Chains A and B, each alone.
Chain A
Amino acid sequence: MTFSRRKTALGLSAGVAILALTVAGCSSSDDPEPSTSATGGAMESTSPDANAEPVTLTLATFNTPGYNSIEQPDADYEFDLIQEYMDANPNVTITYDRKAESGDARTNFFAKLGPGGLADVEMVEVDWMPEVMQYSDLLADLTDPSLDGRWLDSKVADATDKDGRLIGAGTDVGPQAVCYRSSLFEEAGMASDPAGVADLLDGDWANFFDVGQQYFDATGKAFFDSTGGIWQGMINQIDPAYEDADSGDIIALDNPEVKAAYDQLTAASKDQSTHLGQWSEDWFAGMQNDAFAVMLCPPWMLGVISGSAADATDWNIANVYPNGGGNWGGSWLTVPENGANVDEAKKLADWLTAPEQQAKAFANAGTYPSQPAAYEDPLVASASNAFFNDAATGTIFADRAQAVLPSPYKGTYYFQVNTAITDALTRVDDGTDAPDASWDKAVTDINNIG
């Protein structure tokens, strides 16, 4: 599943991203404080006592964080971060355990969080972070003065509990741009170069759907990839969305913005959506066989597209996003407090999430850094993507990350409420129910939660 539904979602935000960027920009030029102290700190601490106690650390991740080529045997990873850390810290042996997808990791995480048995360092995804935050007392506090200013503010905010403990070291984020097919735009008689498309789509969702309608009228074909994908883009801009931040109560049904977005989307999706489920067989096939012209894409989606549409030559990226910015995906490294080597594990999490390392991980697997300092790193700044007609991914996504607003509050019930509504959208897509009847079912489901 879970690669899918679990991925959908939560927006992170670049918080007061501009401030963060400025701060990080300054510090990285003369005194890259967070990074060196992290890297150097770990190394220096070991060199004096070279014959320190040998420790074996386990690191558990999922998908492709870009640490070591065992993640993708056929991909060519330039850097081996695991080996690099072991070389710098001869007393440390790392056992790297990677699960195929986030859902597997989530099940494993919650099964072992209480009784023990988790890895020393565990990766947690943005989608289940709200659930993890309920148990923040079982995870080690990573707060450290040397880490101040390392991450985008929103990345820190989402991993800080109400006692001010930081329980996750941010790895990547997913600022979204718009990926599109230039030949299909051309066919519809619309601008097809990245700048032209960015102009076209610059505006709110109403503008986005207007363009979609133009496209549909000209070609008779669907405009966007899936109703679910667009919904996650829209809902992540609504704050508060489903739950009240103070009381934790579900307010989704009393929130007129939620229903308005639902109505806006269902009105447009009739013509403009492929009516395909995100991550379904047909959706993957659609990337190649002209089923749709645009999709909202975070950096990690680029690999999904190029992997599924190898024969399409006209995919491109427009540096734009409807109604501002949006984030899809991203993770943290956490350290379970009942582990055997909490201190060593903290050092590893610290090192792996330093800007230098995250820039290398980006070069390996395209996981976009949550550390503004890394955006200056040539590995990120000069990155481009050949499949997307040499789009300058490094600069496009740095712009997109700046446009992301603080993430709306997501509580315990976020996932269940969101599932009820995306199910409603799917029913409309499938023709099972009319929009209103489908919404009524969602109302029943949401009232049943809790």
Chain B
Amino acid sequence: MSTTDLDTATETPRDLWRQRLGRWDLKASPYLYIAPFFIVFALFGIFPIIYTAVISMMDWDTIRNSGEFIGFGNFDFVLHDRKFWLALRNTFSIFLLSSIPQLLMSTFIAAMLDHHLRARTFWRMGVLVPYVVMPVAVGIIFSKLFADESGVFNQWLGMIGIDPIGWHKEVLPSHFAIATMVNFRWTGYNALILLAAMQAIPRDLYEAAAIDGAGRLRRFISVTIPQIRPTMIFVIITATIGGLQIFDEPRMFDNTGSGGADQQWLTITMYMYNTGWGQLNFGRASAIAWLLFLIIVIFSLINLWITRRFIKTDKSGGI
């Protein structure tokens, strides 16, 4: 209380209280303001994750809300199920077939939109139109286009003398068809994100590069790409998370939603859904959910590492 000497007689307990409040305010407020997000996240994010982990160790009856602890039995079953590995194969195959062309196309489109075009806003909004269409609607439309016999694509192939492709019978064509739906929906969306990043690049970098004699392609590779790296990483990580959880498109690809008679296009999330809601075996479905979670974490880290390594930032800060 030696410090109160300075405040002389005006000091009252009430002022002290206010002072203390002020200090708390300064320290605690930021946490308070972000708290709602974390409370909601704890309720709807952390809790389900933990609950899923608990259920994955049980033979769970979701309707009676009771179960019997069976340790890692569910994981053991899933890891020994032929369908799990087929689903993993399909998921990665569809992911690669969609993400890679998608990323190349959206970077290209973004670069084109970054030029001075007439009716710029129109073109920029135009690429977002497919994103507005519901994935289920996209699935229905494309599965008609890809129908094995009455589909438009096979008719077109027939016109140029190519035998009809068994989109719903063979493994790779089915993945290609599903990847097409994904690309249709997400290319424009990613292009807009990349475009925003490109527009934030200081124009004098380009001018300086031009003065140094860099051509258009060189400027793109040496200025644009390094400058949009953080955004690129964001796009790749979200594409990874989304790609490994692909569900709507393959589910709508045929009328049964079971992923094909030979599991040609069964993905992990479909396998999980069919185990949970199809067989009402939620313990096993929870085990699949956890395995998928681990796969996504590992794969995102690998992608982050690859992206960091191969797209280098310009550290000199200059040109």
Q: What residues make up the interface of A, taking CB atoms closer than 8 Å to B?
A: 1-5, 107, 110, 113-115, 131, 135, 138, 276-277, 279-282, 285, 415-416, 419, 422-427, 430-433, 441, 444-445, 448
Q: Kindly state whether residue B257 has any CB partner on chain A within 8 Å.
A: yes
Least CB distance from A136 to B in Å reads: 12
Asked if residues A3 and B255 are in contact (CB atoms below 8 Å), the reply is yes
Bin chain B's interface residue count.
20 to 34
A281, A416, A431: the one within 8 Å of B144 (CB): A281
Asked if residues A416 and B147 are in contact (CB atoms below 8 Å), the reply is no
Q: Kindly state whether residue B166 has any CB partner on chain A within 8 Å.
A: yes
Asked if residues A282 and B149 are in contact (CB atoms below 8 Å), the reply is yes
Question: Known contacts being A114-B64, A131-B280, A432-B169, is A5 close to B82, with CB within 8 Å?
Answer: no
Asked if residues B168 and A280 are in contact (CB atoms below 8 Å), the reply is yes
Q: Kindly state whether residue B135 has any CB partner on chain A within 8 Å.
A: no
Q: In the complex, which residues of chain B have a beta carbon less than 8 angstroms from the beta carbon of A432?
A: 169, 261-262
Q: Which 5 A-B pairs have the closest CB atoms?
A: A426-B261, A281-B147, A114-B63, A423-B261, A279-B255
Q: Kindly state whether residue B130 has any CB partner on chain A within 8 Å.
A: no
Q: Mark B111-135, 1 if CB is under 8 A from A, else 0.
A: 0000000000000000000000000
Q: In the complex, which residues of chain A have a beta carbon less than 8 angstroms from the beta carbon of B143?
A: 281
Q: In the complex, which residues of chain A have a beta carbon less than 8 angstroms from the beta carbon of B277?
A: 107, 110
User: How many A-B contacts if CB must be within 8 Å?
Assistant: 82
Least CB distance from B222 to A in Å reads: 49
Asked if residues A427 and B262 are in contact (CB atoms below 8 Å), the reply is yes
A-B contact pairs, 17 of them (CB 8 A): A2-B257, A107-B277, A110-B277, A113-B63, A135-B64, A279-B256, A281-B143, A281-B147, A281-B150, A281-B151, A282-B148, A282-B149, A415-B278, A416-B279, A419-B258, A423-B258, A430-B262
Q: A114–B62 Cα gap in the complex (Å)?
A: 7
Q: A111–B165 Cα gap in the complex (Å)?
A: 39
Least CB distance from B68 to A in Å reads: 15
Q: A5–B274 Cα gap in the complex (Å)?
A: 13
Q: In the complex, which residues of chain A have a beta carbon less than 8 angstroms from the beta carbon of B256?
A: 1-2, 4-5, 277, 279
Q: In the complex, which residues of chain A have a beta carbon less than 8 angstroms from the beta carbon of B148?
A: 280, 282
Q: Which residue of A lies closest to B277 (CB)?
A: A107
Least CB distance from B50 to A in Å reads: 19
Q: Kindly state whether residue B5 has any CB partner on chain A within 8 Å.
A: no
Q: A277–B149 Cα gap in the complex (Å)?
A: 12
Asked if residues B255 and A444 are in contact (CB atoms below 8 Å), the reply is no
Q: In the complex, which residues of chain B have a beta carbon less than 8 angstroms from the beta carbon of A448?
A: 77, 81-82
Least CB distance from A448 to B in Å reads: 6
Q: Kindly state whether residue B8 has any CB partner on chain A within 8 Å.
A: no
Q: A113-B63, A114-B64, A415-B278 are in contact. List 9 more A-B contacts (CB 8 A).
A: A4-B255, A110-B62, A114-B65, A135-B63, A277-B168, A423-B258, A427-B262, A430-B168, A433-B262
Least CB distance from A433 to B in Å reads: 7
Q: Mark B142-180, 1 if CB is under 8 A from A, else 0.
A: 011001111100000000000000101100000000000
Question: Known contacts being A281-B147, A423-B262, A444-B82, is A430 close to B169, with CB within 8 Å?
Answer: yes
Q: Kindly state whether residue B248 has any CB partner on chain A within 8 Å.
A: no
Least CB distance from A221 to B in Å reads: 14
Q: In the complex, which residues of chain B have a beta carbon less than 8 angstroms from the beta carbon of A427?
A: 261-262
Asked if residues A430 and B261 are in contact (CB atoms below 8 Å), the reply is yes
Q: In the complex, which residues of chain B have a beta carbon less than 8 angstroms from the beta carbon of A107?
A: 277
Most buried by B among A131, A415, A430: A430
Q: Mark B306-319, 1 if CB is under 8 A from A, else 0.
A: 00000000000000
Q: In the complex, which residues of chain B have a beta carbon less than 8 angstroms from the beta carbon of A433?
A: 262
Q: A138–B277 Cα gap in the complex (Å)?
A: 19
A131, A282, A444: the one within 8 Å of B150 (CB): A282
Q: In the complex, which residues of chain A have a beta carbon less than 8 angstroms from the beta carbon of B64?
A: 114, 135
Q: A80–B144 Cα gap in the complex (Å)?
A: 35
Asked if residues B63 and A282 are in contact (CB atoms below 8 Å), the reply is no
Least CB distance from A131 to B in Å reads: 7
Q: Which residue of B lies closest to A4 (CB)?
A: B255
Question: Known contacts being A5-B258, A433-B262, is A110 close to B63, with CB within 8 Å?
Answer: yes
Q: In the complex, which residues of chain B have a beta carbon less than 8 angstroms from the beta carbon of A419?
A: 258
